[in-house]
């Protein structure tokens, strides 16, 4: 149960963008390159042994080619053969024929190798070189993700277990919170755990959830690394701690872990997985979800469900809109049709008519009609506007590569803390 249910989604997304990266790169009219292309497609399909065979065969004919060397290095990396991968990447980078995009990806993987070895200084050195070589937005984006992830894993090793409850173990940085706050947070965590068990009819897992709480200045690292954390298979909660009034993100991530067993990991979509986490975490920033949705409608920011059903579109939309709409929609489904039906849908996200005897569009119409009477004030709309600006800021970070290289003490996310408001648990 303790797996991030977003693993399959991010794996598929990675294959999509890597496929465009590899396959669209120009290849000479040469019979050997047919094998290279086949190897790259096999790699993207997860057929690592087949890709290895094809790359090693072509490398016999072109032993100095940087693209083939880098390709084979990637295969070795994902097979866990880090030393062999390092040799191939090093040789690729020594080649004068290595184009900038090959250098970017090779340096990136070298950074990942040293990150796994816990040699963070070397890892960041390679991430910096990847950023300097990067002519690809995809490569730059991956540099940001993995350098942020490396910062988090580096910090995690310095956290100590501070409190154990029936469900969880809380790890804090020394001096992050007083004892009273730690005890209060432990009680809140246990109450939320019990609530999810009861509301979603989940069989408790005997293993405790590990919750790692970082100083608030790690907020943006955690955001930048979210896809890597989700795709890593880690069953832990990694969040920033900014005081007891800003803990909705903790409950959201706990909900992901606790509801993981409800979903088919190969077909899960964020509308449902993020939606149930938002629903269980409660109303955001002191305003009911229904009021948020009515505000989106009034402002003409509302996104139809058929768009949110597509994982890639869901992730590209301002997260304040996509996550809040998902939470409100799932809340409507569970409150009006029961958790049992939702659990059936979670196992097959295409079975709307089978489960509800209605299409997703018809359910959307019911949902919107149910909130049509909500009263949204100018003050409410002002809060929504602020949060939407914050969501735009988070989304705009995807192309930046400088942030994770800096130490966290100079990266205080003052806007997020300035606007922070507590969630209201249901």
Q: Distance from CA of residue 79 to its chain's centroid?
A: 23
Count of C-beta atoms within a 10 Å radius of residue 11: 15
Strand 209-215 and strand 168-172: the pairing is: parallel
Beta partners for residue 237, in sequence order: 211
The tens digit of pLDDT for each residue in 257-300 reads 999 889 887 788 999 999 999 999 999 888 999 999 999 999 99
**CA-based nearest residue to 160, from 240, 90, 214, 81:** 214
Give the pair of three-digit tokens for residue 403: 């942030």
**CA-based nearest residue to 271, from 263, 235, 228, 335:** 263
pLDDT at position 420 is 33
Residue 253 has pLDDT above 70, yes or no: yes
pLDDT at position 86 is 98
SS3 240: strand
First to last CA, the chain: 24
Count of C-beta atoms within a 10 Å radius of residue 305: 18
Residue 283: DSSP 8-state: B
Residue 154 has pLDDT above 80, yes or no: yes
Residue 227 has pLDDT above 90, yes or no: no
Residue 135 has pLDDT above 80, yes or no: no
Backbone angles phi, psi at 343, to 5 degrees: -60, -35
The tens digit of pLDDT for each residue in 5-32 reads 344 443 444 444 454 444 445 555 456 7
Q: Map tokens 């979210």 to a residue.
A: 226
Count of C-beta atoms within a 10 Å radius of residue 411: 15
Give the pair of three-digit tokens for residue 128: 């910096």
CA–CA separation, 258 vs 237, rounded Å? Answer: 11
SS3 223: helix
Query: Cα dihedral sign for 195, 272, 229, 245?
Result: negative
When pLDDT is averaged across residues 376-391 and rounded to a whole number, the result is 92
pLDDT at position 24 is 43
Of the listed ranges 101-115, 133-147, 274-288, the least confidently predicted one is: 133-147
Strand 209-215 and strand 237-241: the pairing is: parallel
**CA-based nearest residue to 327, from 285, 276, 362, 254:** 276
Residue 74 has pLDDT above 90, yes or no: yes
Distant-in-sequence, close-in-space partners of 145: CB < 8 Å, separation ≥ 6: 224, 225, 227, 228
pLDDT at position 5 is 34
CA–CA separation, 104 vs 28, rounded Å? Answer: 21
Which fold, 7-135? 1.25.40
CA–CA separation, 369 vs 362, rounded Å? Answer: 11
pLDDT at position 126 is 97
Q: How far from 115 is each of 73, 79, 142, 160, 359, CA to CA, in Å?
A: 16, 16, 14, 21, 46
Q: Map tokens 């350098």 to a residue.
A: 147
Q: Indicate yes or no: pTM above 0.75.
A: yes
pLDDT at position 396 is 67
Radius of gyration of the chain (CA): 23
DSSP character string of 116-155 = HTT-HHHHHHHHHHHHHH---HHHHHHHHHHHHHHHHHHH
Q: Where exactly are the structural domains of the chain?
A: 7-135
Average pLDDT, the chain: 84
The tens digit of pLDDT for each residue in 290-338 reads 999 999 999 999 999 999 999 989 988 999 999 999 999 999 999 999 9
Distant-in-sequence, close-in-space partners of 45: CB < 8 Å, separation ≥ 6: 15
pLDDT at position 401 is 39
CA–CA separation, 223 vs 238, rounded Å? Answer: 10
pLDDT at position 140 is 87
The tens digit of pLDDT for each residue in 162-221 reads 899 999 999 988 788 888 888 999 999 999 999 999 999 888 878 899 999 998 889 889
**With 0-12 CB in 10 A as exposed, 13-18 as middle and 19+ as buried, what is 298?**
middle
């Amino acid at each position: 149960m303790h797996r991030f249910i977003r693993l399959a989604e991010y794996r598929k997304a990675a294959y999509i963008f890597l496929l465009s990266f590899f396959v669209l790169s120009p290849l000479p009219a040469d019979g050997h390159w047919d094998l290279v292309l086949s190897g790259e497609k096999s790699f993207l399909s997860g057929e690592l042994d087949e890709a290895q065979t094809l790359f090693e065969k072509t490398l016999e004919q072109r032993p100095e080619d940087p693209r083939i060397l880098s390709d084979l290095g990637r295969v070795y990396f994902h097979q866990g053969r880090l030393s062999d991968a390092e040799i191939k990447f090093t040789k690729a980078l020594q080649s004068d024929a290595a184009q900038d995009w090959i250098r970017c990806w090779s340096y990136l993987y070298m950074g990942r190798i040293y990150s796994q070895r816990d040699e963070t200084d070397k890892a960041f050195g390679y991430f910096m070189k990847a950023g300097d070589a990067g002519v690809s937005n995809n490569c730059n984006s991956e540099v940001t993700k993995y350098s942020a992830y490396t910062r988090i894993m580096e910090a995690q090793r310095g956290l100590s277990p501070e409190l154990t409850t029936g469900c969880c173990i809380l790890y804090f940085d020394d001096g992050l919170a007083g004892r009273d706050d730690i005890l209060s947070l432990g009680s809140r965590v246990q109450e939320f755990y019990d609530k999810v068990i009861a509301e979603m009819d989940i069989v408790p897992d005997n293993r405790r959830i590990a919750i790692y709480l970082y100083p608030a200045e790690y907020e943006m690292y955690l955001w930048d690394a979210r896809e890597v954390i989700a795709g890593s298979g880690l069953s832990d909660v990694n969040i920033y701690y900014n005081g007891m009034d800003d803990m909705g993100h903790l409950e959201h991530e706990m909900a992901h872990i606790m509801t993981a067993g409800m979903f088919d990991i190969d077909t899960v979509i964020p509308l449902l997985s993020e939606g149930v986490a938002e629903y269980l975490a409660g109303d955001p920033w002191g305003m009911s979800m229904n009021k948020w949705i009515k505000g989106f409608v009034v402002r003409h920011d509302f996104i139809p469900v058929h768009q949110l059903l597509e994982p890639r579109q869901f992730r590209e939309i301002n997260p304040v809109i996509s996550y809040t709409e998902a939470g409100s929609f799932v809340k409507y489904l569970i409150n009006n049709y029961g958790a049992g039906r939702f659990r059936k849908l979670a196992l097959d996200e295409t079975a709307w008519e089978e489960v509800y005897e209605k299409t997703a569009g018809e359910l959307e119409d019911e949902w919107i009609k149910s909130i049509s009477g909500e009263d949204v004030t100018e003050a409410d709309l002002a809060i929504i506007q602020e949060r939407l600006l914050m969501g735009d800021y988070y989304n705009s970070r995807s192309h930046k590569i400088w942030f994770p290289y800096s130490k966290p003490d100079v990266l205080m996310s003052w806007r997020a803390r300035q606007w922070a408001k507590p969630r209201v648990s249901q």
